[in-house]
Structure 1
Amino acid sequence: MTGTCCDATVPAPAGPAAPPVRLDRATIRIGGRTILSDASLTVSEGAFVGVLGPNGAGKTSLMRAILGIVPVAAGHISVFGRPVGRGNHDIGYMPQFHGRVVPRLDGRSFIAAALHGERWGLPCDWRWGRHRRHDAAEVDRVLALVRATHLAERPIHQLSGGERQRLLLAQALLGRPRLLLLDEPLASLDPHRQREVVALVNDIRRQLGIAVLFSTHDLNPLLGVMDEVLYVGRGAARLGPVDEVATGPVLSALYGTPVEVIRAGGRIFVVADT
């Protein structure tokens, strides 16, 4: 009798999952200005990455390139193994908040307005309560995730900066993304609210197993939480553990000026020679 065990189709072992973000010799240019040149790096699955750099270094442009909004001039950027492109539902994006709000919306309606990423606005039947149950459940889900259920009925214009940030974060979590891009979520917040936002994002990251790119001007609120730091400056990028990247030689090269890194009282101070 002829054996058939060796002829049976055996599923190939699963290979390693594609990383949330990979840059392969990527170059980004905007208006003739090079934001990033020949950069290669990989963001690990589930990682919390702090994105830092001087004003105008290109932190926002990098995030917009990952979103597929800013084109890649050379090289490649991939998200979970696929080329970047607009409308990627695997990405949740929280843009910088400049204080502009829609005063006639309550918290729940504000989130519902972003339910469909291809357009911004409330479904025509939302006001009368005939919206789809799935949409309503999704809004309630993200409100609970950011611990903002108590803000659902409150008008946006009556909320504090920290409360508004929670609702913006809830918007970014719609659709169950696997990667969060948060652009300056700590801007204009006092130190106490900054710590609250960082802890909340970290809790959500661990609960959902998602990767986070968190842009900020100050490294210190992220210490003890982030896995790696990504410094951007003068067309270059450096990703790695804080102790390897936040050093005088590395930052001096990125900033193009002598930089001293001082560690004191559990905090890190970056002092540039201007």
Structure 2
Amino acid sequence: MAVLTETVSSPVSEPPPPLLSVRNATLRFGERTLWSGLDLEVRRGEFIAVLGPNGSGKTSLMRAILGTQALSEGSIEILGQPVRRGSAQVGYVPQQQLADRGTPLRARDFVGLGLNGHRFGVPLPSRARRRAVDATLETVQASHLARRRIGDLSGGEQQRLRIGQALIGDSRLLLCDEPLISLDLYQQRAVSTLIDASRRDADRAVLMITHDINPVLDVVDRVVYLAEGQVRTGRVDEVLTSEVLSELYRTPVDVIRARGRIIVVGLPDGAHEGHEAHPRGGLEA
């Protein structure tokens, strides 16, 4: 006698929602459109560079994700929920402004400013706060700076503390607005390595605005390029090409790869801002 067996299939688990979802986003100021039709999904652990000339709307995109800049059209969600100001899921490293020389605020107190009531509901007890600050200083390799005044620190040291301030709330998404600007090559590498380590260790996603992709070229998964009111997204080798940039700027642009670096040559005069001059006359992407 034949025996019939019923095969029970295991339920297929739904993939987790994107950490960040930007859908058909448009931002206008008066008659000017900064960018339109921006679609972007960011998963945990991704590293995305945001590129483009000054005035193309890179920082405005960051502000929209932070909930401080309303879109003209479209939507932004964090973990499936509409973006809101002050979300504990988002850490932010703003454009660097060096503290005045002699500013008395200690490094550990500066990092501790990332812990506040609007993120956690109630302030952390002093002992838990100290532990959180100590752990974060260790994460950003700045424990030795804890008692020093931030005004006495170098630009690279201050930038470590800003990253610590953004990470101390255990954010899932780290937004960095030109974190490498005004740093020398050694400091750029150190800060880039620190940001990448924070991504890998905690499975964070990173969106970094940068005028030069070369310091992070080895760790970037995708790029978002904003120019002339248009947007292109994709892998580095899909977006940073002569064909794509020539289409964006509506003028011939050459992309040269030499010794592991990317050099962009031929950008129009109005697009020179936001790109680093190259000693041979080109421009760093």
TM-score normalised over the length of structure 1: 0.87
Unaligned runs of 5+ in 1: 1-10, 124-129
C-alpha distance in 1 between matches for 2:251 and 2:216: 24
> How big is the shift at 1:257?
3.1
SS in 1 for 2:35: strand
Of the three residues 106, 130, 151, the one matched with 1:157 is: 151
Matched, 1:190 2:184: yes
Q: Which moved more, 1:180-189 or 1:78-87?
A: 78-87
C-alpha distance in 1 between matches for 2:231 and 2:139: 32
SS in 2 for 1:147: coil
Of the three residues 138, 144, 158, the one matched with 2:138 is: 144
SS in 2 for 1:70: coil
> How big is the shift at 1:139?
1.0
Contact 1:20 1:79 in 2 (8 A): yes
C-alpha distance in 1 between matches for 2:180 and 2:127: 33
Q: 1:140 to 1:42 in 2, by over 3 A?
A: same
2:194 corresponds to which residue? 200
C-alpha distance in 1 between matches for 2:125 and 2:78: 32
SS in 1 for 2:105: coil
Contact 1:87 1:117 in 2 (8 A): no
Q: Deviations over 1:132-188 (max 9, x none)?
A: 212111111211111111110111111110000000000000210000000000010
Contact 1:52 1:232 in 2 (8 A): yes
> How big is the shift at 1:16?
1.1
> How big is the shift at 1:60?
0.5
- In angstroms, what is the RMSD of aligned CA positions? 2.1
1:218 corresponds to which residue? 212
Percent sequence identity is 49
Contact 2:98 2:158 in 1 (8 A): no
Unaligned runs of 5+ in 2: 1-9, 269-285
Contact 2:57 2:226 in 1 (8 A): yes
Matched, 1:113 2:107: no
C-alpha distance in 1 between matches for 2:200 and 2:34: 31
Matched, 1:37 2:43: no
